Amino acid sequence: MEWLKCGTEFIVADVIRWREPIWKPQPRKSKKPPTMIGHRIITGQISKIDRYGWVHIQVAACTVTPLPRWWHPIKPLEVGLLIRRRREKIGQGRVDRLPWSDESARAAIVGSRFLRK
């Protein structure tokens, strides 16, 4: 599979892949700084982008890489799970997307005046 770099320029129905950090769970009012315990590479299809900047993604695959100093197992996200992330936060993880079988159709959708970002 060939992945294309897209940053935050993705639309509904795109299949995207990005990397995000996993943080150690903490009590709500903890004074300690957050501790990163690993990374998660998520692949999923965008099902909805709402007007408030949230992207709704159905998980297709998830791999977890714990940091060497973290000894507890970290569970990956379940396949089929619907997750919600901010567009800007996804864009920080170097987003790649799968090319469509007909890229001219995607270009027509992106160029449409009815597409909301």
Residue 45 lies in a domain: yes
Other C-beta atoms lying within 10 Å of the C-beta of residue 77? 16
Instruction: Answer whether residue 29 is part of any domain.
Output: no
Report if residue 72 sits inside a domain: yes
Is 13 part of a structural domain of the chain? yes
Domain count, the chain: 1
Q: Is residue 81 part of a domain?
A: yes
109 phi and psi angles, rounded to 5 deg: -70, -45
pLDDT at 65: 96
Identify whether 30 is part of a domain: no
**Owning domain of residue 49:** 4-23+36-111
The token duo for 72 is: 């507890």
Is residue 22 within 8 A of residue 39, CB to CB? The reply is: yes
**With left for phi above 0 and alpha for psi between -120 and 50, is residue 90 left, alpha or beta?**
alpha
Q: What is the pLDDT along the chain (117 residues), one digit of tens a residue?
A: 799 998 888 888 899 999 999 999 999 999 999 999 999 999 999 999 998 989 999 999 999 999 999 999 999 999 999 999 998 889 887 899 998 888 777 777 776 655 655
In a domain, 84, yes or no: yes
Q: What is the pLDDT of residue 56?
A: 96
Q: Are 10 and 98 in contact (CB under 8 A)?
A: no
